[in-house]
Amino acid sequence: MNHSGTLYVVATPIGNLQDISLRALDTLKSVDMVAAEDTRHTAHLLSHFGIKAKLVALHEHNERRAGEKILETLQSGLSVALVSDAGTPGISDPGAILVGMAREAGLNVVPLPGACAAVTALSAAGFDQPHFLFYGFLPASGAQRRRMLEGLREQQAVLVFYEAPHRVVESVQDMADTFGGERQILIARELTKTFETFHRCPLGEAVGWLQADPNQQRGEFVLLVEGAVAPPQNEVDEDAQRVLKLLLDELPLKQAVKLATDITGAKKNALYELALELKSES
């Protein structure tokens, strides 16, 4: 394996250490340096698999400064593996800045796929929607959090959030208030760990479930919320219907539909079908 001047972005387990890939182990054994979010945490991981490596700290508070030194290491022809405490670096974890710096410098960046809490939770959610939007951590401030959620309310995709235990109740309550109590939520807790928990229910029942057992408020959370339901393709809102009816009283059908489309912005085909229905009724 040739690692010269290459930055390897290595996914590590989110809980169960057996989830590490053979390729990740091979890379961690072979590189010249491992850049870790928490060197003590990564030292435990490496020790578990009998790997000895030179460790350097790269976390959210020093990423750019430490990144410059790592760039020098890479530019000298040495190889570096980038890891976070759990999961895939750069996904709500440090790493994106270093990867961007390496790419800007024209260095080779090689990702090693593996564990990701968001995708792990999605695979067990059972939401029949083809798209998802990964948001990550919401703002800690209640007012900012509610503004962010309001901006996501009409998204027709499963919404994926990470949340800390001390904020999970407040965040889920804000979701219920913003999205409505009928939407489904999957609460995924402590993924791949001893107390792994999945609970799916309507948003309106989620806070009650969390508060019923304080143990369910512990650990690391992934919250998946069902996306907004797309309106029927041919649905015409009340304002557009009113405008169309007024125009049909005065104009031929095609001209009325065209003007109603221009005025309301409603879909022409939907207005045309409605116009035919109205004409047949009259």
Q: What is the overall mean pLDDT for the chain?
A: 94
- Which residues contact residue 221 at a Cβ distance below 8 angstroms, ignoring those fewer than 6 apart? 162, 163, 164, 165, 168, 187, 188, 189
CA proximity to 225, closest of 178, 186, 176, 181? 186
Residues 217 and 264 in one domain: no
Residues 152 and 163 in one domain: yes
pLDDT tens sequence across 92-147: 999 999 999 999 999 999 999 999 999 999 999 999 999 999 999 999 999 999 99
Distance of CA 33 to the CA centre of its chain: 30
- Give the end of a domain, one of 63, 82, 115: 115
pLDDT > 50? residue 234: yes
Sheet hosting strand 158-163, strand order edge to edge: 132-137, 158-163, 221-225, 184-189, 197-202
Q: Is the pTM of this model over 0.95?
A: no
- Secondary structure class of 136 (helix, strand, coil): strand
DSSP string, 231-253: PPTT---HHHHHHHHHHHTTS-H
Residue 272 lies in a domain: yes
Q: What is the pLDDT of residue 231?
A: 66
**Contact between residue 87 and residue 14 where contact means Cβ atoms under 8 Å apart:** yes
Residues 139 and 215 in one domain: yes
pLDDT tens sequence across 3-55: 559 999 999 999 999 999 999 999 999 999 999 999 999 999 999 999 999 99
| Residue ranges making up the domain that contains 183 | 118-225
pLDDT tens sequence across 46-87: 999 999 999 999 999 999 999 999 999 999 999 999 999 999
Q: What confidence tier does 232 reach under pLDDT thresholds 50, 70, 90?
A: low
pLDDT > 50? residue 250: yes
CA gap 152, 146 in Å, rounded: 10
Considering its fold, how many domains does the chain have in total? 3
